[in-house]
Chain A
Amino acid sequence: MFPELIPARKLRKMIDAGIDNLVSAYGDMLDKAIQPFIDLLVWLEQGLRHCPWWIVLVGVGLLTWTSSRRWQLTLAMPALLGFIGAIGLWDQGMQTLSLMIVATGLSILVGIPTGIVMSRSSWLRKVALPILDIMQTMPSFVYLIPVVMFFGLGKIPAIIATVIYAVPPLIRLTDLGIRLVDKEVLEASQAFGANARQQLLGVQLPLAMPNIMAGINQTTMMALAMVVIASMIGAKGLGQEVLMGINRLEVGRGLLAGLAIVALAILFDRITQAFGQRRQQQEHPA
């Protein structure tokens, strides 16, 4: 037996009590703070679910066209979404889609500023990198427990768990992208008297954009990987179908929902990638 240096039972009790205290002290405040996101999510979800399906398809088509300017892709992406509807999962698909959009939006809101701050301070970077590693490797069930305690069951804890899991690559790639900006180009902007804001908006962010787009792409992929887990704490949608498939041993149900998730993944991946690629083609024509 390994000698028990730290009394495990006591430690666990301490952590539990600490979280309990936090929940009773700040739970209400957090609920209020998160309310706008609930509203946004509900609004988006209702919008997508009540919108006639063909408008959604046309919308996806338009988005694909603006990002890629390739007509094959512009036809393929709505077709992919149409496939989800065709196998009878339209409603669940829209629920998952809105969850994804909010989670990705929140990740961008958190991830890009964090990445920018990290790129400016080597000290902060040293602190942040291990934290990001923990966020990515810690089994997501572990932080599902406190998240559920804070926010209860439903969409919000699902989104927060998703963001915790999905945001690290975006932070990393934003930081990396800014650090990789050609030193001479940055020097040039300084030499012309650009202040910190002008350097960031005019040079650093635009030049880091391919990396940031890659980060957003990664984030959406990781967020999709979370949908089944999110459904366990009450997020409705495609994940729930898969979960039901497992519970009832219905392979067909699980497979179809799984395919629909894959279809959504391809949709997100192609559209975000196309954004990044088209910019690069402009700057570096073959």
Chain B
Amino acid sequence: MKIEVRNIYKLFGTRPEKWLDDAKAGVDKRELLEKSGHTLGLRNINLNIEAGQIYVIMGLSGSGKSTLIRHFNRLIEPTEGQIIVDGKDIMTMSKRELEDFRRHKVSMVFQRFGLLPHKTIVENVAYGLGIQGVSKSIRHEKAYYWLDQVGLNGFENQYPAQLSGGMQQRVGLARALATNPDILLMDEAFSALDPLIRREMQDQLIALQEKLNKTIIFITHDLDEALRLGNRVAILRDGELIQEGTPEDILLNPENAYVKAFLQDVNRGKVLTVGHAIKQPNVTITTNISPQNALKKLQHHGADYACVLESNILKGIVTHLDIIKADQARDKNITRYIHKVATISEGAELQSVFPQLLDNKQPIAVINQQDEFKGWLSRTKVINLIQ
């Protein structure tokens, strides 16, 4: 496990230790504020984050998500609890160790970018390296490389204010990546961008992540974004963890009414994939089966057609009628009678098959990346999932 968050409590106020027991006893946030003047930031947060994951923490404003992400590099200290990174509890680190941890292991991308307005783009990207004490020529070389990676070459000597929001956040991303950290903290990194640019940035993040394989902790209030980016998603409400799981888990099995209400506006067709709406084929046969045997198999299952596979690759389908014809023509096998069928990849967004479902009465086959046959696309399941 890359990062373990254990029993994190955070109270904001003058004497948080005094009221910690109330927080542990489960006193309601509002009640606690009234009787103690302390705001409950986080209550008993436990998370396990694996290396190479994009781990999304989502919640509305006031849910404690921005507080939580600042615990991972101790910009905010917890009232109690541990965060264990690579086996070491970061809460026990000395000031010097913490500086070192922040310089080399973890970096952060901010909602409003947090760029230095008085430095040029290349100096901004090189900032973390400068803090490490890397010489100017090397850090500029690296900064140029990362600017190129995020598609910003040519802007090196501009100032942040001369760039659009989306470009500024690319600078923020390049700056975070330039120190080559294991862990990337992204605090509502794309929330300040307009929808088109946000989408673009999400794609870019996914593409970069495929190459870099960082452990990314991503904060957002946008459920669509959470489900799109996250390998796993944790939902916070009023400082408490409500549900944690894969995007599909959360979408298909919401734990309570709060999550359900959240999910109402989600475009499920965009989040769920064709793989979620597979039904297993009734009858599968191989290409060299004799018509008689094929006929028997079909009759045994009472099916109208069978799918023809050759070492897991779908060749097409044959209908009951075709097999009878083959039998009458005394063919050795049914190869001549195979009809091609439409196929779709199991990773495709569910909504992308709607047009095909509408004007295609024939079954649609679902295949994986290796072109292997996974099953048929179930119209009933599609409708049930979308509803």
Chain A residues at the B interface, C-beta cutoff of 8 Å: 182, 184-185, 187-195, 198, 202-203, 206-207, 209, 279, 282-285
Contacts and interface: CB of A to CB of B under 8 A. Distances in A.
B161 A203 contact: no
A189 B127 contact: yes
A184 B98 CA distance: 19
Given A184-B110, A283-B117, A190 B102 contact: yes
Contacts of A191: 73, 75, 102, 106-108, 185
B114 interface: yes
Given A191-B75, A285-B162, A184 B116 contact: no
B118 interface: yes
A211 to B, nearest CB: 13
B173 interface: no
B337 interface: no
Contact of B112 (A184, A189, A198, A283): A184
B345 to A, nearest CB: 39
A184 B172 CA distance: 12
9 contacts: A187-B108, A190-B102, A191-B73, A191-B106, A191-B108, A202-B116, A202-B130, A283-B161, A284-B161
A193 B108 contact: no
A207 B160 CA distance: 14
Interface string B233-263: 0000000000000000000000000000000
Contacts of B291: none
B182 to A, nearest CB: 14
A282 B159 contact: yes
B159 A285 contact: yes
A285 B160 CA distance: 10
A275 to B, nearest CB: 14
A193 B101 contact: yes
Interface in B94-134: 98-104, 106-108, 110-118, 127-128, 130-132
B179 interface: yes
A185 B114 contact: yes
B277 to A, nearest CB: 43
A187 B117 CA distance: 14
B131 A188 contact: no
- Nearest 5 Cβ contacts at the A-B interface: A193-B103, A188-B114, A193-B102, A191-B108, A192-B128
A206 B159 CA distance: 14
Nearest to A209: B118
B131 to A, nearest CB: 5
Contacts of B132: 193
B118 A283 contact: yes
Contacts of A189: 116, 127, 131
Contacts of A187: 75, 108, 110, 114
A194 B98 CA distance: 10
B84 to A, nearest CB: 19
A282 B118 contact: yes
A195 B102 CA distance: 11
A198 B129 CA distance: 13
Contact of B110 (A188, A195, A207): A188
Contacts of A188: 108, 110, 114-116
A192 B131 contact: yes
Given A187-B114, A188-B114, A194 B75 contact: no
Contacts of B112: 182, 184
A194 B99 CA distance: 7
Given A188-B110, A191-B73, A203 B116 contact: yes
Contacts of B106: 191
Contacts of B108: 187-188, 191-192
Contacts of B127: 189, 192, 202
Most central of A188, A190, A206 by chain B CB within 10 Å:
A188
Contacts of B75: 187, 190-191
Contacts of A284: 117, 161
Interface string B147-160: 00000000000011
